[in-house]
């Protein structure tokens, strides 16, 4: 299948600049473009039944495939990674909520003003006084996880979509504090930390791809949800839930997260790569999918970029069409007003699940 491999289970580390082939869509263009589309669509607003389990469960895998050489990150994934240490059971570990604007290392607080934030978790051992950072993010940057490459030598769209956990020693206080958040949310034992570390390894080995969109029927809280996102904030939330299951008590503080919504009627299942793009596939459907993704291609001139925005607006708002790739399968979304929305909403810290465990 035309899906790129990613880092192996041992790819734990810190993001940084790399010498990759630069296949990523320029973030300074597509992030504002996404916001422009959200604003423009708001202004413009005045399958197979046996498969329909909503929301569609995120598919997990037994292993990570090897990286495809075609997929190269503009910024190297986890360049200073280290194994998760084994803590002494009687150690006292402080757990920190970390949040900062996406691409803060390059653009400062630009995306922070728009509440487009990246989430991570910090740990501090009181016995060793060492700090650690743990996060989950894209191997080949966000654009490659959200839209495919249309390679002339391949009939099907080619996806460079993988996400993985990243663990490294140290917490960059300035990075998190200057434009974001660094706050203590819980205190756990070293034994709890070690159990969490085993869970993280399993979670990282089986949840291998990134999903940008949350898709639901309307902005109402009780609306039917079609697809869940799978991103940095969802990793943080899963980790918090695991710690609560192990007996951690979380502080009562407000915690907000960025989410990107698409709004549509009930999705229609279209098929996988083989059934759509294979020798016996639906050529009309295959062409329609590639035509939809064409405006999202990287390396556009300013003129091409502006033209692409108009094409995207025409497809999503005027014709109300969106083709979603989820679980390595294609779905058609009949788009509805307000079409797309970026929110920064509160998701409370979890309550302690296991009262029988001694906290420390």
- Catalytic amino acids? 118, 232
Q: Pull the structure tokens for residue 139.
A: 């191997």
Q: Pull the structure tokens for residue 45.
A: 């607003």
Coil, helix or strand at residue 94: strand
Question: How far is it, in rounded angstroms, from Cα 355 to Cα 360?
Answer: 12
Coil, helix or strand at residue 137: strand
Residues making up the chain, counted from first to last: 360
CA distances from 308 to 8, 119, 145, 284, 313 (A): 35, 30, 19, 22, 9
- C-alpha torsion 344→260→310→75, nearest 10: 100
Coil, helix or strand at residue 104: helix
Beta strands 268-272 and 329-346: pairing type?
Answer: antiparallel
Q: DSSP string covering 142-204, please?
A: HHHHHS-B--TT-SS-BB---EEEEEEE---HHHHHHHSEEEEEEEEEHHHHHHHHHHHHHHH
């Amino acid at each position: 299948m035309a899906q790129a491999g990613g880092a192996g289970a041992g790819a734990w580390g810190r993001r940084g600049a790399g010498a990759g082939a630069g296949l990523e869509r320029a973030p300074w263009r597509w992030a504002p473009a996404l916001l422009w589309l959200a604003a423009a669509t708001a202004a413009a607003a005045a399958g197979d039944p046996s498969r329909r389990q909503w929301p569609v469960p995120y598919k997990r895998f037994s292993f990570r495939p090897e990286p495809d050489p075609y997929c190269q990150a503009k910024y190297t994934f986890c360049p200073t990674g280290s194994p998760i240490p084994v803590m002494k059971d009687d150690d006292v570990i402080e757990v920190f909520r970390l949040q900062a604007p996406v691409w803060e290392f390059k653009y400062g607080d630009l995306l922070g003003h728009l509440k487009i934030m990246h989430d991570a978790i910090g740990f501090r051992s009181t016995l060793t006084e060492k700090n650690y950072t743990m996060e989950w993010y894209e191997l080949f940057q966000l654009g490659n996880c959200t839209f495919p490459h249309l390679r002339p030598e391949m009939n099907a769209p080619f996806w460079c979509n993988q996400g993985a956990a990243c663990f490294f020693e140290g917490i960059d206080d300035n990075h998190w504090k200057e434009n974001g958040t660094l706050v203590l949310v819980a205190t756990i034992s070293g034994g709890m930390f070690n159990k969490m570390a085993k869970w993280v390894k399993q979670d990282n080995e089986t949840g291998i791809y990134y999903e940008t969109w949350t898709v639901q029927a309307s902005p109402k809280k009780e609306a039917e949800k079609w697809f869940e996102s799978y991103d940095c904030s969802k990793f943080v939330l899963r980790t918090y839930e695991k710690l609560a299951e192990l007996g951690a008590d979380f502080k009562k503080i407000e915690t907000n997260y960025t989410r990107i919504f698409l709004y549509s009627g009930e999705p229609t299942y279209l098929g996988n790569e083989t059934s759509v793009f294979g020798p016996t596939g639906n050529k009309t459907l295959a062409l329609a999918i590639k035509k939809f993704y064409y405006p999202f291609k990287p390396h556009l001139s300013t003129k091409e970029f502006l033209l692409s925005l108009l094409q995207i607006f025409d497809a999503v708002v005027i014709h109300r069409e969106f083709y979603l790739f989820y679980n390595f399968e294609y779905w058609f979304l009949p788009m509805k007003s307000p079409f797309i929305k970026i929110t920064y909403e509160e998701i409370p810290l979890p309550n302690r699940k296991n009262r029988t465990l001694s906290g420390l």
